[in-house]
Amino acid sequence: MKTYKNLYPKLCSFKNLELAFRKASKGKSKKFYVIEFKKNLKQNLLDLKKELEWETYRPSKLTKFTIRDPKTRLIRKSIFKDRIVHHAVVNILDPIYEPRFIADNFANRINKGTIAAIKRFDKLLKKVTKNGSEINNAKHKSMIKGYVLKADIRKFFDSVDQTKLIEMLRRKIKDEKVIWLIIKILKNFDSKIKGMPLGNMTSQFFANVYLNDLDQFIKRRLKAKNYLRYVDDFVILHESKEKLEEYKDKIEKYLMNLKLELHPDKSKIFPLYKGVDFLGFKVFYSHKRARKRNVSHFKRRLEKLKKSYV
């Protein structure tokens, strides 16, 4: 396995911090905190560079708030300066880990996302149903063959074992200063042992690192061909319900190694003819439709946008 040393100088470089600033401020140029930081941009970045190089950097306390999207979630938000540091870290680590991620991991990656995940799911659905032959030949939709294991990892972001994550990162990252900075970011949380703040960009990246072992287990050890994951939600499609039950049992046992578990109420096996709720859509062979609660959520956001232009 290839390992990486001497990454910290590049992480702390003015060039990387400047790039991190641009990414952190994207779409937020009119925000007060961005405007204030930009007034003395060069000096602010130089000061941050010095803090990182001298290892005096300390992340600020997180701000907490809740959102409904559509269910209520507790978000912990870092101040803008810390978000620049998060981007600086991911700028260095992402090129190292991206080639190791499976193609069917659709969360927080370039050219991926929910729409790409739904398209891929649709392709897998047609593959399992033999491009529609099961549907076209069936007199009743209940005769359609094929099943899906739809699973949710219970309280994933609150359950990530920080020590386990650091062990994973140390497999490839042999620069202890980079590890020191990551630990600083991880420990800036309610719990110093487990969990990551949902609002941090680093948490989204580390989620992919942490769950990559699961992805590799499912694809390589279980040899499940029709698998895709989006953050803590994943699906496996198969012609055999019994095979999916076998997969589910083995996945539950494997997740114990990661100190995670499947949500008992949200991890079920369904026949494909019933359609599958996935990432805000109800997906059938012939069509897809947005779930009603997502349509209502969209309408509320649209009304807020209209009011902002009045």
| Residue range 17-74, pLDDT digits in tens | 999 999 999 999 899 999 999 999 999 999 999 999 999 999 999 988 887 765 677 7
Note the CATH number of domain 114-155+221-308: 3.30.70
> What's the rounded mean pLDDT across residues 98-109?
94
Q: Which pLDDT belongs to residue 275?
A: 72
Q: Would residue 33 be called left, alpha or beta, if left means φ above 0 and alpha means ψ between -120 and 50 degrees?
A: alpha
Computed over every residue of the chain, the mean pLDDT equals 87
Give, as one character, the DSSP assignment of residue 197.
Answer: -
Lowest mean pLDDT among 60-64, 152-156, 275-279: 275-279
Task: Identify any residues that bridge with 288 across adjacent strands, giving them in sequence order.
Answer: 283
For the record, the structure tokens of 86 come out as 């998060």
Q: Would residue 146 be called left, alpha or beta, if left means φ above 0 and alpha means ψ between -120 and 50 degrees?
A: left
Given a cut of 90, is residue 281 above it in pLDDT? Answer: no
**In the chain, which residues fall in CATH 3.30.70?**
114-155+221-308
Tell me how long the chain is.
310
For the record, the structure tokens of 184 come out as 């600083």
Q: Would residue 220 be called left, alpha or beta, if left means φ above 0 and alpha means ψ between -120 and 50 degrees?
A: alpha
Lowest mean pLDDT among 146-160, 215-229, 272-286: 272-286
Higher pLDDT, 260 or 63: 260
In the chain, the percentage of residues whose pLDDT exceeds 90 is 66
Residues 196/198/201/204 CA torsion (nearest 10 deg): 80
Q: Which pLDDT belongs to residue 142?
A: 56
Distance, CA of 269 to CA of 251 (rounded, Å): 14
> What's the rounded mean pLDDT across residues 73-95?
94
Q: Which residue has the tokens 């995670």?
A: 260
Q: pLDDT-based confidence at 300, cuts 50/70/90?
A: very low
Angle, vertex CA 221, rays to CA 215 and CA 227, nearest 5: 45
Distance, CA of 77 to CA of 150 (rounded, Å): 30
Q: Which pLDDT belongs to residue 306?
A: 34
Q: Please report, as a single letter, which amino acid is at residue 251.
A: I
